[in-house]
Amino acid sequence: MCGIAGMVSFDGNPGSLEDLHRMCAATSHRGPDDYGVYADEHAVLGMRRLSIIDRATGRQPIRNEDGTVWVVFNGEIYNYRQLAKELKRAGHTFYTDSDTEVIVHLYEDHGPAGVEKLRGMFAFALWDQRRRQLLLARDRFGIKPLYYGEVDGRLVFASELKALLQLPQVERRLNWSAVGHLFSWLCTPSKESIIEGIHKLEPAHMLVAASGRAPKLQKYWDLEFRPDRGHSEQYFAEKLAALLRESVELHMVSEVPVGAFLSGGVDSGSVVALMSQLSSAPVKTFSIGFPEQDYSELAHARTLAKRFGTDHHELVVEPDVVEILDDLTWHLDEPFGDSSAIPTYLVSRLASQHVTVVLSGDGGDELFAGYDKYLVERSERRIERLPASFRHALGVASRLMPAQMRGKNLLRHLSLPGPRRYLDALTLFRLEEMRRLLHPEAYRLIAPTDAGAELESLLDGSGSDWLSSLQSFDIKRYLPLDILTKVDRMSMAHSIEARVPLLDHELAEFAATIPAEMRLKGTTGKYIFKKAMRGILPAETLERPKQGFAVPLGRWFRGQLRGYVRDLLLSDVCRRRGVLDPWYVERLLQRHQTGGDLDLHLWTLVSFELWCRTFLDPTPARNWNMVSPLKAVS
């Protein structure tokens, strides 16, 4: 696991090593073990390394045999041993035992299409010196991040946005389209960052930039739900169990200690159960909970830890989290509306005291239909059987009702067409609410953006049935923008690598062939996944109702954190920023105190304000953990 950065200019002025040094130093937490640089007249590449595979000889950047192709790489390639054997038979000579080296040799034989042979999580930059060509690539699900942009005629890239902000030429201007997306969906868009002109490389995409040609974006993979109704439930359950076991085994390969996050649910429990079968020593597991028992899964995690004989560690989170919020903001890199980043940060800190690699159960709900919202959507779809005139009348009735009248929002919601209704349930601030939340000028900048239209088109065109369509949407949007962003940033904040065996793409491709009625059967989500785990997980775990990774922020914001939130959002600094309307913020605070469920609304505003103070406002330079002297190879 690493942090990568670089600059390329086809006119011969890629940027200074000092600039690259600052970029890499900004992400030193991603790779505290080593620092390497490549430089020539057109490109400078840098990386910070967290040594996990081939710790002795796997120092990056990695080259091909004649030194004309160089790569900096963040992630893990789980089939690298098989690929290395094939490449050696094809005549390639390896000088390391690392997974990184297979990338340069695949490129030599297959060009950019070589990325399709990689099985793992990755973001890498490959420089072809002879062709003067840069290849950027990101893994299929977006487990590893990659930002890029064009600055003064140079193409610049990095694992984190803060690295690019070290370049004086990058103007710290808000991207108002991304701000609107944040306030609507709790995160910034898949293609853009919160900073104008800096983009995200989307999952399953690569970018090829070469001298004399415009940069070209290309999608190299897609997960298509194609139900295979020619097999029984037993067939799907048995093959799924075998694929999951294989994936967990691949994800356990490491030269450093490996552990697992354990929530007490089906997904993380399955990973831990299989790790325990495959490991000769007790698996180290890490759990987090809250004093509020209705939010805490610690008891369930303890049950599983005892069942599988793990070396278990846990932490109870108290509402005194203010002391970590500045560090949390720094590592999140962009404003982020999912408050579960807080416990993820803390459980990662706990794990870092014992291991360098952790496996997590993320991805199971998206792949196997585990979210309760799928049950809600199935129930609400019944209203579509009613005449369109009736649904229209519901909308008219909702508009005529007083603002605070009970049932007004439900009628408005049920009057919407299918895709728009599903999106409506996921929306934080709707456009009319943003009009009141924002100062007029800020709203004017955001209002032209209708993020819902683009997202609605994804729901209309994805999948072979309504459930597949929703899952495909969540896999392409919610999973990379929220879940995987949170896990990557919070684990890397503590220099540990989080791996997600449920998101092995071969496992996912098989999951996409399971018929919808076997994924969601009756009121049972993840039906076939649970069937596959029978006999491996205890019955009480498989049958327990789903409990999300929620944080009791609502209670904290009414209690110990009430003054902190008010002081932050109504401060002179926040008022002078001219983005939020203090009158409406005051109203939100009052509504929350009187029982309104506005914890995520307030947390998103808190996250945005803290991000502005950290990255936009003039502040003393952060300690970059400088490494010197600089060493470059060419």
- Of 153, 154, 147, nearest to 175 by C-alpha is 147
- Residue 286 token pair: 């890490």
pLDDT score, position 56: 67
- CA dihedral (350, 353, 359, 360) in degrees, to 10, reads 10
SS3 260: strand
Sign of CA dihedral 341, 346, 347, 348: positive
Contact 224, 512 (CB under 8 A): yes
- Residue 437 token pair: 């939340």
SS3 253: coil
Q: Which of these CATH numbers, 3.30.300.180, 3.40.30.10, 3.40.50.620, 3.30.1490.100, describes 233-370+473-542? A: 3.40.50.620
pLDDT score, position 54: 60
- Residue 83 token pair: 């690929």
What contacts 403, CB < 8 A, 6 or more positions away?
Answer: none
Give the tens place of pLDDT for each residue, 138-188. 999 999 999 999 998 899 999 999 999 999 999 999 999 999 999 999 999
Identity of the residue numbered 419: P
- H/E element holding 48? strand 43-49
Q: Exactly one of 2, 24, 574, 612 is catalytic; which is it?
A: 2
Give the tens place of pLDDT for each residue, 485-519. 999 999 999 999 999 999 999 999 999 999 999 99
Contact 2, 121 (CB under 8 A): no
- Residue 32 token pair: 């505290």
pLDDT score, position 401: 78
- CA dihedral (342, 454, 366, 162) in degrees, to 10, reads -30
Cβ-in-10-Å burial (0-12, 13-18, 19+) of 183 comes to buried
Contact 32, 48 (CB under 8 A): yes
DSSP 29: G
Residue in the structure block whose two tokens are 């029984």: 232
- Of 533, 531, 611, 535, nearest to 568 by C-alpha is 611
Strands 69-77 and 133-138: unpaired
pLDDT score, position 190: 94
Q: pLDDT under 70 in the chain at which residues?
A: 1, 53-57, 403-404, 449-455, 457-458, 460-464, 548-549, 619-634
What burial letters (b/e) apply to 443-465, b meaning 16+ CB within 10 Å?
Answer: bebbeebebbeebbebbeebbee
What is the CA angle 574-483-431, rounded to 5?
A: 45
- Residue 316 token pair: 């109870």
Q: Where are the domains of the chain?
A: 2-219, 233-370+473-542, 372-468, 553-616
- Of 74, 70, 54, nearest to 62 by C-alpha is 70
With helix as H, strand as E and coil as C, how does 556-579 read?
HHHCCCHHHHHHHHCCHHHHHHCC
Length of the chain: 634
CATH number of 2-219: 3.60.20.10
Alpha helices in 111-193 (DSSP H): 161-164, 176-185
Residue in the structure block whose two tokens are 């002879």: 130
Cβ-in-10-Å burial (0-12, 13-18, 19+) of 630 comes to middle
Q: Note if 24 is an active site residue.
A: no
Contact 224, 469 (CB under 8 A): no
Contact 312, 261 (CB under 8 A): no
- Of 282, 236, 229, 221, nearest to 503 by C-alpha is 221
Residue in the structure block whose two tokens are 């203090």: 582
Chain centroid, CA 195 distance in Å: 18
User: Which residues sit opposite 48 in a β-bridge?
Assistant: 3, 35
Q: How far apart are CA 473 and CA 458, in angstroms?
A: 6
pLDDT score, position 64: 96
- H/E element holding 418? helix 418-426
Strands 216-219 and 205-210: antiparallel
User: Which residues sit opposite 45 in a β-bridge?
Assistant: 6, 38
